[in-house]
Amino acid sequence: MRLQTRAYMLAHGANPDAMSEDDFRVVMVALNDGLLGNKAVLMTLGAFTAGVFNYIRQPSAKPYGMADILGIAYDYIHPPLSEEEKKNQVNENLLAFMSSMPEAQAKLMKAKNGS
């Protein structure tokens, strides 16, 4: 399994020699368990399961999301955002919200130009 893990990492641009033995073992276990390399299967089954669970849940209950269904495998597919990425996402969300109001482009351009 070590050889297959090395080959997988090299094929995807990683350097297995630069990793600690513990990190390499985590990747090897994840690959062996099928968490890596099965993104399409995980996403399909996760979406299907979330849809079924959301259909049968109580109206007052919290809706299920992919992270709830996939658990730790979700982080393999969608790595958590860094602090800088989180700040950028907040700014982009605010700009998208502000742009949705009527005549937003003209008002935003006025504010940008200092008028």
List, as one string, the DSSP characters of 4-65: HHHHHHHHTT--GGGS-HHHHHHHHHHHHHT-SS-HHHHHHHHHHHHHHHHHHS-TTSPPP-
Overall domain count for the chain: 3
Cα–Cα distance measured from residue 44 to residue 10, given in angstroms and rounded to the nearest whole number: 27
pLDDT at residue 56, as a whole number: 93
If asked whether residues 55 and 27 sit together in one domain, one would say no
Mean per-residue pLDDT, 54-63: 93
- Rounded distance between C-alpha atoms, residue 30 and residue 76, angstroms: 9
What is the rounded average pLDDT of the residues 51-59? 92
**pLDDT (tens digit per residue) in 63-115:** 999 889 988 778 877 888 889 999 999 988 888 887 777 777 777 667 666 65
Q: In which domain, by residue range, is 12 found?
A: 1-37
Q: Cβ(74)–Cβ(30) under 8 Å?
A: no
Q: What is the pLDDT of residue 37?
A: 66
Q: pTM to 2 decimals?
A: 0.46
